[in-house]
């Protein structure tokens, strides 16, 4: 008996959808716009997160030592840094390697090279390049290095501790990601509200056109669930169809934007991301559509059928 009633409810829900095709298409269209925006926020967040990770890998803390700093002290400090849980790697560059890199960077500047030759010695100190697991750890690492700057007799062995210039880029990109996510959340909620409102009114209109049929169902003793069910099924159907359309639109859209994002946003191809995460995107899109359609239909039936 239960399954018989369930089959009838589902069948009537499909009939309501197709019998009011134009009204249903309007609700589906609005839901598609909402789901497209929800999906776009997913891709934008992935792009920005990949960009942030790419910039983070290029940031490090550079420690330059005075030329007179003993190697034994530098290597001992290197071992201490490597033992820290927040340090990912420490690369040591000897004075000779630093001088070689300096000459390569200034290969076209004859004045600087001549000045170096006139000195008759290597004026540059060794260098440690430190990469942390988290950019926020660099301040703690710098604070850890301050007591190590003093050598016996009060002489400082560390000449300079500095971050690379793209630390500022990380800060700005992190702020941008937060701003985009907040803006996306607000706009998504607003569009979802509009979708619920339109679907709500769509179901209300369908209820009005089926008022005589509903009155007959009440007279013959149909239960509340039996009357409400077909309209909720119609709303869920709006969401499922809108979700499938949205997923179909994303395929050519991400394919077209794939190479562009890969070249511009540190290697993230949105088409590959779409394919690799299709199951999660599919579930999120379909569940969002079903929720918007189902809840709006349920509210409309409860409000306007007084049941």
Q: Tell me the per-residue pLDDT of 253-306, one tens digit each, with 9 for 90 and over.
A: 888 887 777 777 666 788 888 888 899 889 988 888 888 877 777 777 766 565
Question: According to the model, what pLDDT value does residue 185 have?
Answer: 74
| C-beta of residue 107 within 8 angstroms of C-beta of residue 73 | no
pLDDT tens figures, 146-199: 765 544 445 678 888 876 555 666 667 667 667 766 776 777 777 777 767 776
Check residue 263 and give its pLDDT. Answer: 73
Q: Is the pLDDT of residue 244 over 60?
A: yes
pLDDT at 245: 92
Indicate the domain borders of the chain: 2-55+170-304, 60-163
Indicate whether 122 pLDDT > 60: yes
Percent of the chain with pLDDT over 90: 3
pTM equals 0.63
The CATH number of the domain covering residues in 60-163: 3.30.70.3040
Instruction: Report which listed range, 3-7, 77-81, 171-175, 235-239, is most confident.
Output: 77-81
- Total length of the chain: 307
Q: Nearest Cα to 273, choosing from 291, 289, 258, 288?
A: 258
């Amino acid at each position: 008996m239960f399954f018989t009633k369930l089959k009838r409810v589902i069948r009537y829900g499909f009939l309501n959808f197709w019998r009011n095709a134009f009204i249903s298409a309007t609700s589906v269209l609005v839901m598609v716009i909402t789901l497209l925006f929800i999906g776009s926020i997913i891709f934008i967040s992935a792009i920005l997160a990949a960009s942030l990770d790419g910039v983070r890998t290029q940031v490090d803390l550079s420690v330059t030592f005075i030329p007179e700093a003993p190697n034994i002290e530098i290597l001992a400090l290197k071992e201490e840094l490597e033992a820290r849980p927040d340090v990912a790697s420490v690369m040591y560059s000897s004075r000779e390697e630093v001088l070689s890199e300096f000459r390569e960077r200034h290969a076209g500047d004859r004045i600087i090279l001549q000045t170096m030759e006139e000195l008759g010695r290597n004026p540059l100190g060794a260098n440690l390049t430190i990469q942390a697991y988290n950019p926020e750890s660099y301040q703690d690492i710098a604070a850890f290095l301050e007591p190590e700057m003093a050598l016996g007799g009060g002489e400082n062995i560390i000449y300079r501790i500095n971050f690379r210039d793209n630390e500022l880029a990380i800060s700005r990109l992190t702020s941008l990601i937060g701003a985009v996510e907040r803006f996306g959340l607000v706009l998504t909620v607003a569009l979802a509200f509009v979708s619920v409102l339109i679907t709500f009114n769509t179901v209300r209109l369908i209820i009005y056109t089926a008022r005589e049929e509903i009155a007959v169902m009440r007279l013959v003793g149909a239960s509340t669930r039996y009357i409400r069910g077909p309209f909720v099924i119609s709303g869920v159907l709006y969401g499922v169809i809108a979700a499938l359309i949205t997923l179909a639109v994303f395929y050519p859209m991400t394919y077209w934007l794939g190479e562009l994002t890969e070249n511009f946003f540190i290697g993230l191809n949105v088409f590959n991301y779409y394919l690799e995460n299709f199951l999660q995107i599919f579930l999120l899109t379909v569940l969002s559509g079903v929720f918007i359609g189902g809840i709006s239909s349920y509210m409309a039936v409860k409000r306007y059928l007084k049941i």
